[in-house]
Amino acid sequence: MPAPTPFRAYGENSATFLIFQALAMKSGALADVFLANLKNFGDGKKFRGEKLTEPEIWLFPNFGKGSGFGEPDVLILAGKYVFWIEVETTINCQKRLPSLRNTLLQLWRFRLFQDALSRSAKARLGSRRIVGRTLSNNHIERPAEVRLKGHGVLQAIRNKLKKASEDGRHHYVLFTVNKPKGEGGDGRPYAKVLADELQGLGDGYRKALPRLDAKHCWYAYWHGDIESTFNDAEGPRLILSDSYVRIKKS
């Protein structure tokens, strides 16, 4: 009998797919393993919410490039909650803070889109659109919009996203495959680094834009954190190193 064909996946998108596919396949894992292990920016306390029912995972939903709002890596809807997730290979707490700030900027963009979703669609150029403000890679504020017609994701979940805005149950997650590097090297735990950098990103300008509040921001990492909890339970296992290969060595 021939040996199985080796299966190798490369980069953050592949890791994202493998992890969240595994979480979806194992009953209860999304709520009981992933969401239950989210830790808050600032104090590191774990997420505690109401019972999370009927969870859905959306990978790489595109809400418009160029003049649009961007593309989260993962969008989780569970009960009345929505979680916007940005996935990174790792975060360096000491040497790559500019890279961390760019990641936090992406979370802020999701917050701005969530704010736009809380308002009624507008008729523009012959179609109904979600209209709001976002930020460029150069941190410049700009208008943004995405058309509703033909947008399968928004047509399916727009009402749930809007409801999450009304209830204040929208959350933003920085998820890394590997444990953050340099944690505590300057005396600050990872949770404090994230809160400080988020505060610095928003200080002093764009006061008219909705803030990305640390109380709505969470972090987690797979290796050394969620992986052991996931693989201790019965059901599908995921040893990411067996199939996931980084594009670059670090």
Taking 80 as the threshold, does the pLDDT of residue 208 lie above it? no
Residue 116 structure tokens = 């736009």
User: Which amino acid does the sequence have at 178?
Assistant: N
Give 109's pLDDT tier (boundaries 50, 70, 90). Answer: very high
State which H helix or E strand residue 19 sits in: helix 11-25
Give 62's pLDDT tier (boundaries 50, 70, 90). Answer: very high
Q: Which pLDDT score is estimated for 234?
A: 67
The candidate with the shortest Cα–Cα distance to 154, out of 216, 77, 52, 87, is 77
Share of the chain above pLDDT 90, in %: 49
Distance of CA 80 to the CA centre of its chain: 17
How far, in Å, CA of 194 to CA of 40, rounded? 9
HSE-up of residue 216 (Cα within 13 Å, Cβ side): 23
Give 45's pLDDT tier (boundaries 50, 70, 90). Answer: very high
How far, in Å, CA of 119 to CA of 50, rounded? 25
What is the phi/psi pair of residue 116, to 5°?
-65, -35
Asked whether 226 and 34 are in contact (CB, 8 A), the reply is yes
Beta strands 56-59; 74-78: pairing state = antiparallel
Q: What is the mean pLDDT of residues 101-109?
A: 93
Asked whether 20 and 35 are in contact (CB, 8 A), the reply is no
Burial bucket for residue 244 (CB in 10 Å: 0-12, 13-18, 19+): buried
Q: Is 218 helix (H, G, I), strand (E, B) or coil?
A: strand
Q: Which pLDDT score is estimated for 195?
A: 95
Q: What is the mean pLDDT of residues 122-143?
A: 88
How far, in Å, CA of 34 to CA of 23, rounded? 8
Give 250's pLDDT tier (boundaries 50, 70, 90). Answer: very low
Q: Which of 4-8, 31-35, 132-136 has the lowest mean pLDDT?
A: 4-8
Average pLDDT, the chain: 87
Asked whether 78 and 31 are in contact (CB, 8 A), the reply is yes
The candidate with the shortest Cα–Cα distance to 202, out of 107, 119, 130, is 107
Q: What is the mean pLDDT of residues 185-196?
A: 89
Residue 182 structure tokens = 């340099």
pLDDT in tens, 223-249: 888 988 888 766 667 777 656 556 555
Asked whether 142 and 133 are in contact (CB, 8 A), the reply is yes
Tell me which DSSP letter residue 96 carries.
-
pLDDT in tens, 8-40: 777 888 889 989 998 998 888 999 899 999 999
- From residue 221, give the alpha-carbon distance in Å to each of 40, 112, 151, 183: 13, 25, 31, 13
pTM above 0.85, yes or no: yes
Q: What is the mean pLDDT of residues 146-156?
A: 92
Residue 232 structure tokens = 């201790």
Length in residues, the chain? 250
